[in-house]
Homo-oligomer: A and B are copies of this chain.
Amino acid sequence: MIPRYSRPEMVAIWSPETKFRIWYEIEAHACDAQADLGVIPKENAEAVWKAKDVEFNVDRIDEIEAVTKHDVIAFLTHLAEIIGNDEARFVHQGMTSSDVLDTCFNVQLVRAADILIADMEKLLAALKRRALEHKMTIRIGRSHGIHAEPTTMGLTFARFYAEMDRNLNRLKKARMEIATGAISGAVGTFANIDPAVEEHVCAKLGLEVEPISTQVIPRDRHAAFFAALGVVASSIENVATEIRHMQRTEVLEAEEFFSKGQKGSSAMPHKRNPVLTENLTGLARLVRMAVVPAMENVALWHERDISHSSVERNIGPDTTITLDFALARLTMVIDKLVIYPDNMIANMNKFRGLVHSQRVLLALTQKGVSREDSYRLVQRNAMKVWEQGADFMKELKGDPDVTAVMSVAEIEDKFDLGYHTKHVDTIFSRVFG
């Protein structure tokens, strides 16, 4: 985790304090269930709840772990120090460390997913607002970085909305992937603990029961989770790339908001760099890099090996923290993005009407000119615009082969921008309902 790319709420999920609190809840609920089953005395189960409002001493636990070299035992030892050795006797009975660790990890991932889902909803709101605002703001559409046909800025925002809406859906599914818990013992047979304990603990923690676990919850779930985050990150890169293009000096159709105190560069005061979206491009790579190791984690040996653990200690926090930060940053960028409609028009007109060549081509075809001939007619006039700086409409009006089939009014009609925006409403109703 890089502090400058993190937000406190997500960071808190991954603190030792939160982790031990979740461990505690798992153990305490498990004791309740064990007591209900008559496996352990009621009073021992109740005694565990004495620690309900106690803050665990992370340093003390670390100290014990330094000796035992086992984190769960260290925690349990510390818990016994709080509630009493005798009272703590039945805590963790029949369980294996992974019951606690894996269930806790999934609780953390679920909470992280909840934040990411809320982040995404905020991003969607921003995108929607800007889409509606610029629904009819004309700009040139570009393929291959080259001017193609007119579109609107609203459509750009709307397609990012649709993409992020799919990502919202993916995040929700990803949350379901890892919203399970397991209390199934050393190799997942429930030999030492009744499945009812698992059911109780999972219900209390808002998790589904893992239908079949080994010592661990199967890691295909986590692979799917991190893969979904990788897709979301790639979409962030997509939006960021658009904005970076819009802000480049020659285009200047938009700029990231530039606060007054901010210095763009130590040497060039006029520069306003799209540093936030460039940063988002890098953050996307960081989120994405977790995907392959998460997939490599799936093939554990037999009922488990611990190779996945160090990977998850890193990618669990780092990926969710980075993605949370990135979503929030992108939301802010979108919210405050300065749009320059005049520059959009100026850019579109850079090649004096060439942008309408496709329409003219089509019109010629519809007038009965063959596809090949139409193409040649359009091309020869277009080349004059391109190479000699001519005006496309004027050239067409002066080309007898064109005027032989199209009237001046018909030619002019092909340069009407309304032609390109006539289905914007349709598209908006598809996207926003």
- The answer for the CA separation of A35 and B275 in the assembled complex, in Å, is 34
Contact partners of A144 in chain B: CB under 8 A: 244, 271, 273-275, 278, 301, 304-306
- Find the B residue at minimum CB distance from A190: B423
Q: How far is the CA of A195 from the CA of B292 in the complex (A)?
A: 39
Tell whether, in the assembled complex, residue A302 and residue B143 are in contact, meaning their CB atoms are under 8 Å apart: yes
Q: Give, as a whole number of angstroms, the nearest-CB distance from A298 to chain B.
A: 4
Nearest CB to that of A279 among chain B residues? Answer: B310
For residues 368 through 414 of chain A, which have their beta carbon under 8 Å from a beta carbon of chain B?
370-371, 375, 378-379, 382-383, 385-386
Is the CB of A38 closer than 8 A to any CB of chain B? no
Cross-chain contact B248 with A142 (CB below 8 angstroms): yes
Interface residue stretch chosen among A24-32, A112-120, A210-218: A210-218
Chain A, 286-307, contact with B by CB distance < 8 Å: what is the 0/1 string? 1011111101111111111111
A54 at the binding interface (Cβ < 8 Å): no
Kindly list chain B residues whose C-beta atoms are within 8 Å of the C-beta of A385: 270
Select one of B224, B247, B283, B314 contacting A231, CB under 8 A: B224
A12 nearest CB across to chain B (Å): 18
**Segment among A45-53, A68-76, A330-338 that sits at the interface with chain B:** A68-76
CB pair A195–B426 under 8 Å, yes or no, is: yes
Is A230 at the interface (CB under 8 A from chain B)?
yes
Question: How far is it, in angstroms, between the C-alpha of A96 and the C-alpha of B267 when the chains are bound?
Answer: 7
Q: Considering only CB atoms, which chain B residue lies closest to A194 in the complex? A: B423
**Contact flags (1/0) for A320-351 with B, using CB distance below 8 Å?**
00000000000000000000000000010011
* Chain A 224-255 interface residues, beta-carbon cutoff 8 Å to B: 224, 227-228, 230-231, 233-235, 237-238, 240-242, 244-245, 247-251
Q: Assess the B311–A282 pair: CB atoms within 8 A.
A: yes
Per the bound structure, the CA–CA distance linking A306 and B259 in Å amounts to: 19
14 pairs, CB–CB < 8 Å, chain A vs chain B: A2-B310, A141-B187, A142-B301, A143-B215, A146-B247, A150-B191, A155-B212, A189-B424, A191-B420, A220-B234, A249-B350, A279-B306, A281-B299, A282-B311
> Complex: how many Å from CA A228 to CA B291?
11
Total contacting residues, chain A, CB less than 8 A: 160
Asked if B282 and A237 make an inter-chain contact with CB atoms under 8 angstroms apart, the answer reads no
Tell yes or no: A37 within 8 A of B by CB.
no
Count this chain's copies in the assembly.
4
B186 x A141 contact (CB < 8 A): yes
Other-chain contact of A245, B230, B302, B310 (Cβ < 8 Å)? B302
Considering the complex, give the chain B residue whose CB is closest to the CB of A237. B299
Q: Tell me, yes or no, whether A110 is within 8 Å of chain B by CB.
A: no
List of 3 A-B pairs having minimum Cβ-Cβ separation, nearest first: A141-B187, A145-B248, A144-B273
Please state if B70 and A295 are interface contacts (CB–CB under 8 Å): no
Q: B187–A148 contact, CB under 8 A? A: yes
Chain B residues lying within 8 Å of A135, measured Cβ to Cβ, are none
Q: With A212-B431, A310-B283 as known contacts, state yes or no: A351 contacts B142, CB within 8 Å.
A: no
Task: Return chain B residues, CB-CB under 8 Å to A424.
Answer: 189
Are A426 and B190 in contact (CB-based, < 8 A)? yes
Given contacts A189-B155, A292-B291, A359-B191, is CB(A238)–CB(B299) below 8 Å?
yes
B145 adjacent to A269 (CB under 8 Å): no
B residues less than 8 Å from A158 (CB atoms): 212
Chain B residues contacting A383 (CB-CB under 8 Å) are: 270
Given the contacts A85-B370, A302-B141, A147 and B310 also touching, CB distance less than 8 Å: no
**Cβ-defined contact, A2 with B266, below 8 A:** no
Residues of chain B within 8 A (CB-CB) of A272 are: 146
Contact at A431–B211, with CB atoms within 8 Å? yes
Cβ-defined contact, A310 with B286, below 8 A = yes
Contacts of A302 in B (CB 8 A): 141-143, 145, 242, 245
Distance of A231 from chain B, by nearest CB (Å):
5
